[in-house]
Amino acid sequence: MKEQLAAIAEKIKGLGPVEGLRYFAEAYPSQVVFSTSFGWEDQAITHMIFSNNLPIEVFTLETGRLFPETYYVWNRTLDVYQKPIKAYFPQAEAVQQMVSSKGPSSFYDSVENRKECCYIRKIEPLKRALSGHKIWITGIRSEQSVNRHDMSNLEWDEGNQMIKFHPIFFWSLDEVKAYIKEYNIVYNPLHDKGFPSIGCAPCTRAVREGEDFRAGRWWWEDQSKKECGLHAAS
């Protein structure tokens, strides 16, 4: 696999994000998917895919606990591009069992409970979304968290047995914002209210001045534990 990744890395070396996306779409037809949560980075990549008519499936995880503002961006994105975004929901029985036995806010009680909720609402649906595909496109950037500094824009995801490509991995947040402004891309208004990272509503708050980029995610937990598991395998 290292040799395969090295060969691919050589082929996409020097390519911009759109050209990199086009390479994978052509090299792996019907095998490329992009996961969006409708944040700044994901909206930029969605624009790249849709405006260039790249044959890449775009999907999102509908956890059932999203902000109203996130649904607004979702709807506006559909209106602007007139292209589908496939929604993956958690298994109803699993959600019912968890909420019935532990209540609707069990994730505040312990890290174990929070990880259980993340698994049911995000990880399991993600595995269904990725099934049958070979390339997973994400909006991950290097500066988003300490855990991502040592990552690369091209990786092998052992947990999901597929290649991951992060087309704007080396972009700064200012570059993302500039791209959003240049192409007049709809974005989540929560970003303008101190939310650099937006997930489920009960688990996300605004970041205060001087705080880490992801301080608003699962703020009641230790900093070292602030990953939901979507990208933990990398």
Q: How many CB atoms lie within 10 A of CB 142?
A: 17
Strands (E), 13-148: 32-35, 57-61, 86-88, 135-137
CA angle 187, 193, 197 (to 5 degrees): 65
Catalytic residue of the set 117, 118, 200, 228: 228
Q: Is 228 tagged catalytic?
A: yes
Looking up tokens 């298994």 gives: 91
233 CB burial (10 A radius; 0-12, 13-18, 19+): middle
CA angle 45, 57, 74 (to 5 degrees): 60
Which residues make Cβ contacts (< 8 Å) with residue 93, sequence separation at least 6?
none
59 three-class SS: strand
Q: How far apart are CA 126 and CA 23, in angstroms?
A: 24
Residue 153 contacts residue 169 (beta carbons within 8 Å): yes
Q: How far apart are CA 187 and CA 38, in angstroms?
A: 7
42 three-class SS: helix
Q: How far apart are CA 152 and CA 164, in angstroms?
A: 10
Q: Which residues are catalytic?
A: 228
